[in-house]
Structure 1
Amino acid sequence: MTQEQLIIQCKRQDAQAQGALYQKYSGVLFAICLRYSPNYVEAQDNLQDAFLTIFKKVEQYSGKGSFEGWIKRVTVNTVLQKYRKKRHFDMVREDQIADEVIDEVEHIEIPLDDLLQMVRELPDQYRLVFSLYVLDGYSHKEIGEQLSISDGTSKSNLARARKILQKKVNNFKAAQQEG
């Protein structure tokens, strides 16, 4: 079945087509969910919510642009919506953080799994801004719109996330040198 046929069948709520769509894209979308979630279990929950949203909204996909790009955006928006509803984090406003300078970091090899774990350990507000900006290429303006914060607050949260990650990388480096 071609992707176009798969989409048509999903629009008709065909369970077999939905299963095929899940099989085809679950790995890619789970990687996105992992970037935005503090742990593996929550990432699994976010993936399930994302697919429910995709199946519910697939009728809205007009065929313009990449389908994979569309489902990735739906996934990110679904996860962000979940955080907005919970409101279990407070964004640090730009006036709450003094300008912080991030030290230059020398080149260091870090396994991808370790680096992603460091990102997952960031406080929610920093992890979301970092993931949106660095990993998914959103602008500070777009992040502000997604999270209902100012561009400056997005920049401040990104700076704080980078500072925390820098400390984690330095600790990783020190541990590598000791062992």
Structure 2
Amino acid sequence: MSGYLYKISRNKILNHIDHDKVRDKYISLLNDFAEAGRYESDFLVREKQLKELIEIEVAALPEQMRKAFEISRNHDLAHKEIAEQLGVSEGVVRNNISRSLKILREKLGPVVLLYLLLKR
């Protein structure tokens, strides 16, 4: 009878230890998941803020430049098609898009660099 009680006790203890290992592993994985979620949430917030800043700067462009830039980026049209829509020459569209990119690069350059550095 004592051998029987010994085996039951030993198996109960081993089962308890195994259960503790599984619980600890589960808690560890849950903590890892929570940490990853925090970083992803932070990244999404920063990305949203950067998009808003870009939208503000695009809205501040002169009207013709802004229209040409938005059509080229949002509708993926060629300069010729944009020129037809706006009723201007293809050269004007090309210059407007080029100048708008230059303006945005100058205004957003440090912000974009900071965004990329913080992205890590």
Q: Which structure has greater helix proportion? A: 2
